Structure 1
Amino acid sequence: MSSTTSPFPPIADYAFLSNCHTGALVAPDGSVDWLCLPAFDSPSAFGDLLDRGAGSFRFGPYGINVPTARTYVPGTNVMTTTWHTPRGWLLVHDALTMGPRRGPDTITPHTRPPADDDADHMLVRTVECLEGALEIELVCEPAFDYGRTPATWTIVGDDDHAADATGAGQTFRLSTDMLIGIEGGTARARHVLSKGDKAFCAVSWAEGLASPADAADAQARIDATIQFWRSWLARARIPDHPLRHPLERSALTIKGLTYMPTGATVAALTTSLPEAPGGERNWDYRYTWIRDTTFTLQALHYLNLDWEADEFMQFVADLEPNADGGLQIMYGIDGRRDLTESTRDDLGGYEGARPVRVGNGAFDQRQNDVFGAVLDSLLLHTTRSKHLPRRLWPLVQSQAAGATAAWREPDQGIWEARGKPQHYVSSKLMGWVALDRAAKLASIRDDDELAGRWRTTADEIRADILEHGVSDRGVLRQHYDTDALDASTLLAALFGFLPGTDERMRNTVDAIDSELTENGFVLRYRTDETDDGLSGKEGTFLICSYWLVSALAVVGEMDRATSLMERLLRISSPLGLYAEEFEVDRARHLGNFPQAFSHLALIEAAGRIILSDFRAELSL
């Protein structure tokens, strides 16, 4: 189905809102098409993103669906939309509001130390008439439990300014200074605004369903949210460089995908946005992937966001390991282990892409790269903080033991292929990372015996990869039984497995650049060469393209790195966001959105380019 006739907005046209507990996606027409309450991985109350009847919440001018301008309030995750109608001009603000902490959070209890600010647990929307006189409308049509349960509405009080929506064991309150009318499962309101007039509406799932008292209170909550995001961003180290703005937007997006109660980070806000249009490559990404830890820590430390880095490391330390001491490849944002996958066959899917999945069946896959991700994270954090907490040393030992026991075994690889296990080079590479970092951590603790033992194993893994994982033309393979290329071998450059001057590293970077790209954008692998257990073609992977930027920088190809970086920045969404993939033929984003991995890789690639540019300036 083409995007010109589809009832679904393009994925990249959505605005992302966050209160660091959950997130919302707002379509260009002013409709909230995705919001899960009260947390990222809760069932959706507004789910039109996955089925046009699964719940939405529109606030904007009546009869006008195309806005004049949409932008974030600079330095925030607060959205502004400007509307021009035949009768005037409107300005709308949308925010999942944040404010000073007012006591224990009973909605989403915290396991981390409480911060000074926290979520209000409400979505607040304000409107101001800038010119003329025009009619605005509010249409709130929730459908709880991923669209299964229409709302039952109850008017609150006797002035028709608030109503409670209930379904599937959930209740939220809609409040507004407009008069609410109930039509079946829908709450509606209309009002004419003249120049200077303001109005508001809010959806609250806070304790006691607390809501803004009036338009001034609603605006004050939005102002407090703007202040929260700007104060947070002021703590980040963002160099004065042309890449400053994409770095800021990526930092705000990563923070927005962080679950404040535990310190976990979700891979993306959504589930089941398709990697292949209309296909079956649809996954639930509202969980924490342990492999992301090292990329998250790198990004947070690069940006000087050490508090967030420590929160995330403490979340990892709290996780319950498997029987062998290793960690699962992913966990729930509350640390739960069981992410059993089910399908919601009553939902039509985004542009007909089915099935819609809740949970992720890959949670119990064998993926040997997990050990390296954890130990690289621990070394990064220890080096930065100059301290290895006592509670983390057992994690070092268990992960090193796990990597030692597992590195010779085949697995599903970094891409969670649902075909048969293979000896993936990237998994072996992360096994080397695990033992290399473990040896360095042991040295920090002056445990020379352990450091020597782990260093010997790291050298053994390295020798095995260089013997079996390099093709006859001197290029790193996808796995030991193929000469197929895989973008994950670029990690050899990023993790220092081979120096940038090594011919095999240069050969690998050049081969991927010339043979594993579409119009210059990088594929994970060729689906016709890889048994991933699925049918259909997928788009180019944005993280892989950013890895190529970083790898080009490592091998000294700065002009090529900068050129690719510029191309990647040009295909960002209108609001500077990235999904997981980019479909080159139709120049559109695919996959779950916004995607943390894409933004994390952008931060690393930008950091390498900025460092090179600053060094070049110093040498002049």
Structure 2
Amino acid sequence: MTTASDDDAPPQSAAAPSPFPPIADYAFLSNCHTGALIAPDGSVDWLCVPRFDSPSVFGSLLDREAGMFRIGPFGLNVPASRQYEPGSNTISVVWNTPTGWVTVRSALTMGPSRGEDTVTPHTRPPADEDADHMLVRTVTCLDGTVEVELVCEPVFDYGRTPAEWVLVDGDRHTADASGAGRTLRLRTDMALGIEGGRVRARHVLEKGETLYCALSWAAGLAAPETTEEAVAQLDATSAFWRRWFSHARFPDHRWREAIQRSALTIKGLTYMPTGATVAALTTSLPETPGGERNWDYRYTWMRDSTFTLQALHYLNLDWEADEFMQFVADLESNGDGALQIMYGIDGTRDLTESTRDDLSGYAGARPVRIGNGAFDQRQNDVFGAVLDSILLHTVRSKRLPRRLWPLVQQQATCASAVWRNPDQGIWEARGAPQHYVSSKLMCWVALDRASKIAGIRGDRSAGETWRATAEEIRADILEHGVKNGVLRQHYDTEALDASTLLAAVFGFLPRGDERLRATVDAIANDLTEDGFVLRYRTGETDDGLSGKEGSFLICSFWLVSALTVVEQVQEATDLMERLLSVSSPLGLYAEEFDTSTGRHLGNFPQAFSHLALIEAAGRIILHERMRELM
């Protein structure tokens, strides 16, 4: 009998049977310091404490033995329904068992600030409400009787260190788990039993009865002591999100719900102590099923900054926009004055990448990476992203903060000096540097925006200098980056790249320009799979990696925006509706979408996808409103 070798095996499907839940089936919780992912069966499969970029204590997302925390009906895995409590990041799950019904509420709780936060110290002004640094869950029996089980099995330091549990003062309702220099406290009104590296409890709930559990890493390991306190903390958390929600401006439109969930997700990916925004909650969720395209996204990318500011100001979230700009202003630049392409959420510059080879990876996708080796790449698009952000913020606030002008000068000077040089491009290709069109386009954005900021400041000389350089860059792109009337990936290829859609998004060419329209049409027709946009075709691009990848959701949203710009609004609307139809069951988006299986791929939830959704929806809604006035 002969068998095919591994090399002859077909590529792994994103829908292959697996003990790992589909990426899009996870619920996202946040306290704006860290976040959690909860599987449909009620298990917390991802939680890093106390911050987004800390080592995981529950890591079953990346290895089924790397820690989990579940409370729910014993012996059942599939709930009857799951939904966010309206206007919040509190999740409510209803279960139907053969004997009754229960609902489980879960949140990383928020409440009134209680003095200085010593767990995750703030550099921004502390708000009236902040994280409690705990995960609180309640279970209420709606009808009949239900046997409820609690299992808490943290494995510290990305699954390396099993927990050592002890009952606190012999109390079966309070237990501490320690490992890798960290201690968590579990408190519940269920009677706990220690079983090696986990604790477990079981209780039969009667109709109308409620029980709770809380996992704390707060100062002094504070946690609710009664069910009433736990319910009050969950209620306070939902109220916090709704109060925040009430400050935003949401259009009265059929896409309102999608925009609102995106806003809650972006806020949930914000690190409140510094104002930074993480690109995604997770690390190493694969872009290719079973493949090596696995990256750590728990950091802040400068390329995201302009899209972050666009979305925040569009939604009238000016405080969050200002917090983010202050974070950018605090960042330490390189020796030449340029900002790095990414930073840690506390401004850390060194994000040296390592692998955790002891972890299986999500559905076998390895390696699992911690850190991101692209942090010291030179990407010339960073200058445009930063300066477009500053211009947006300046126009909105009607003034240029004094501390931002030196940053404008530095980034404009750097863009002027490097725009002729090849780089790794917006996608951080790990192949040879190239003259990427999108990088030069963003250098044009940098000088164009710098000249406008100089005009606001009244510096006519700097404005004229930067305007002249911007025109020089534009001419160079149009001479070398256009082939057969279409903007290409880089100067030495005819390959397409979705990043050239930024020519429409950033106003590089007027909306009636034939080269712009031809570029948009070429990408829509030749760089899509089942109507969804690829970043590029991996067979045509030396990105230093093997394997295929899914369609990038941000690129599809960019195409919506670009189609709107070139007045193909019906096509834009059709694509927008398709994109909204493939959101997760809870309205969330990963980085990519596998059109062959309908599965999400890549890190989750992805800020870039949600930011681009808001921008694309905003363009179409504005177009519709303008038509109403005609």
Match of 1:239 in 2: 251
- Measured in 1, the distance between the counterparts of 2:171 and 2:316 equals 50
Unpaired segments of 5 or more residues in structure 2? 1-11
Secondary structure of 1:291 counterpart? helix
Match of 1:614 in 2: 625
Deviations 1:535-584 (A, max 9, x none): 00000000000000000000001100000000000000000000000011
- 1:157 CA displacement: 2.5
Residue 199 of structure 1 is aligned with which of 177, 200, 211? 211
Deviations 1:204-225 (A, max 9, x none): 0000000011100000000000
Residue 546 of structure 2 is aligned with which of 523, 535, 542? 535
Match of 1:508 in 2: 519
TM-score normalised to structure 2 length = 0.98
| Structure 1 consecutive aligned stretches of length 4 or more whose deviation exceeds 6 Å | none
Match of 2:493 in 1: 482
Q: Among the aligned pairs, what percent are the same residue? A: 75
Q: Is 2:115 the counterpart of 1:97?
A: no
- Measured in 2, the distance between the counterparts of 1:550 and 1:540 equals 17
Match of 2:6 in 1: none
Secondary structure of 2:82 counterpart? strand
Q: Is 2:584 the counterpart of 1:569?
A: no
Residue 447 of structure 1 is aligned with which of 436, 445, 459? 459
Residue 221 of structure 2 is aligned with which of 203, 209, 215? 209
Match of 1:181 in 2: 193
Match of 1:601 in 2: 612
Aligned AA for 2:319? W
Residue 274 of structure 2 is aligned with which of 251, 257, 262? 262
- Measured in 1, the distance between the counterparts of 2:624 and 2:26 equals 33
Match of 2:49 in 1: 37
- Measured in 2, the distance between the counterparts of 1:610 and 1:105 equals 41
- 1:159 CA displacement: 2.9
Q: Is 2:137 the counterpart of 1:125?
A: yes
User: How do 1:235-384 residues align onto structure 2 when only pairs under 5 Å count?
Assistant: 235-384=247-396
TM-score normalised to structure 1 length = 0.99
- Measured in 2, the distance between the counterparts of 1:323 and 1:97 equals 41
- Measured in 2, the distance between the counterparts of 1:410 and 1:160 equals 63
Aligned AA for 2:411? Q
Residue 84 of structure 1 is aligned with which of 90, 96, 100? 96
- Measured in 2, the distance between the counterparts of 1:208 and 1:413 equals 47
Match of 1:556 in 2: 567
- 1:5 CA displacement: 2.4
- 1:612 CA displacement: 1.1
Secondary structure of 1:528 counterpart? helix
- Measured in 1, the distance between the counterparts of 2:629 and 2:445 equals 32
- Measured in 2, the distance between the counterparts of 1:80 and 1:4 equals 28
Deviations 1:105-138 (A, max 9, x none): 0000000001111000000000100000110000
Secondary structure of 1:160 counterpart? strand
Match of 1:25 in 2: 37
Deviations 1:307-349 (A, max 9, x none): 0000000000000000000000000000000000000000000
Aligned AA for 1:546? F
- 1:4 CA displacement: 5.6
- 1:67 CA displacement: 0.2
Residue 534 of structure 2 is aligned with which of 513, 523, 544? 523
Secondary structure of 2:473 counterpart? helix
Match of 2:65 in 1: 53
Deviations 1:34-56 (A, max 9, x none): 00000000000000000000000
- Measured in 2, the distance between the counterparts of 1:93 and 1:184 equals 28
Aligned AA for 2:442? M
- 1:287 CA displacement: 0.1
Secondary structure of 1:428 counterpart? helix
Aligned AA for 1:537? K
- 1:273 CA displacement: 0.1
- Measured in 1, the distance between the counterparts of 2:458 and 2:188 equals 63
Aligned AA for 2:489? Q
Aligned AA for 2:615? E
Match of 1:113 in 2: 125
Q: Is 2:19 the counterpart of 1:7?
A: yes
Match of 2:432 in 1: 420
Secondary structure of 1:449 counterpart? helix
Please give the root-mean-square deviation of Cα atoms over the aligned residues, in Å.
Answer: 0.6
Aligned AA for 1:294? T
- Measured in 2, the distance between the counterparts of 1:429 and 1:258 equals 28
Aligned AA for 1:510? D
Unpaired segments of 5 or more residues in structure 1? none
- 1:616 CA displacement: 1.8
- Measured in 2, the distance between the counterparts of 1:468 and 1:6 equals 48
- Measured in 2, the distance between the counterparts of 1:460 and 1:153 equals 66
